[in-house]
Structure 1
Amino acid sequence: MTGPPWLYGRPTAAELVASVADFLDNEVRAATDGSVSFHARVAANVLRTVERELTDASAAEAVGALTELGFPDEAHLAAAIRAGALDAREPEVLTTLRAVVRHRLAVAHPGYDPAD
């Protein structure tokens, strides 16, 4: 998205994605069976993941942890660990890694929290 969400009005991208996911889950799956029904379910699940990414407010924690450690993104952190510049067992590195993984899980697998 190139502008703030309010710029585009309603429905938002997340609302449109949610509507299509609901259509696939409710209408298409009810009217089909076999592989078409299965693929409609898979497509709806993909759209729900996209919806969670579009509405996610928890990314700030992961971004903040990376920034605090001095990295612009996860790829740079991973490269530093691979190069031996950082020890992944250090407490501040572990905290950052946990924040990044927790954020990814919140989007990819909502309701799952390894800390629970």
Structure 2
Amino acid sequence: MQDRPSAEKLLAAARAFLNETAMPQLSGQAAFHARVAGNVLDILARELALAPGFNKAEQARLESLLGEDGDLATLNRKLCEKIATGEMDLSNDALKNHLIRVTMGKIAIDQPRYQGYKTAQANGWPEEELGD
């Protein structure tokens, strides 16, 4: 076993270097690309922190909606099939809730400062849960 910093600590070190050392010395296109890289690192940090719990909660909801167990990819494929065939639609409150929570979770990771996300939060839309 290797003793090394965690992925979270490695990301934090890379973000600190970009923000504190590199960015102040850059301009133009290089500064733009450094900001893009910083945003990528921020997304990765949020994904490391949130995605495992979000995925667990999503899988539990899918198992309940579909009435069967399975891995997340398979369950999502089956849900898509049921929606495509009309077997399941937005008249199903559990489906609607599931789709909102999945969307809110994706935005929480990808773009948590997005105004539409903030508005949805302010209006009481259900947040994605961190699974047990």
TM-score band w.r.t. shorter chain: 0.7 to 0.9
For 2:112 and 2:3, the matched residues in 1 are separated by 27
The Cα of 1:23 is off from its aligned counterpart by 1.4
Q: What is the TM-score of this pair, normalised by structure 2?
A: 0.70
Number of aligned residue pairs: 110
Aligned residues of 1:65 and 1:99 also touching (Cα < 8 A):
no
> Structure 1: 5+ residue runs without aligned partners?
1-6
Q: Give the alignment's Cα RMSD to 1 decimal.
A: 2.2
1:38 corresponding residue in structure 2: 32
For residue 12 of structure 1, report the CA deviation from its aligned partner. Answer: 0.9
1:80 aligns with 2:82: yes
Between the aligned partners of 1:115 and 1:23, the Cα distance in structure 2 is 32
Letter in 1 for 2:80: A
TM-score by length of 1: 0.78
Q: SS of the counterpart of 1:115?
A: helix
Q: Which has the higher contact order (CA 8 A, sep 6+)?
A: 2
**Structure 1 residues 11-90: aligned runs within 5 Å:** 11-56=5-50, 58-59=53-54, 60-70=56-66, 72=72, 73-90=75-92
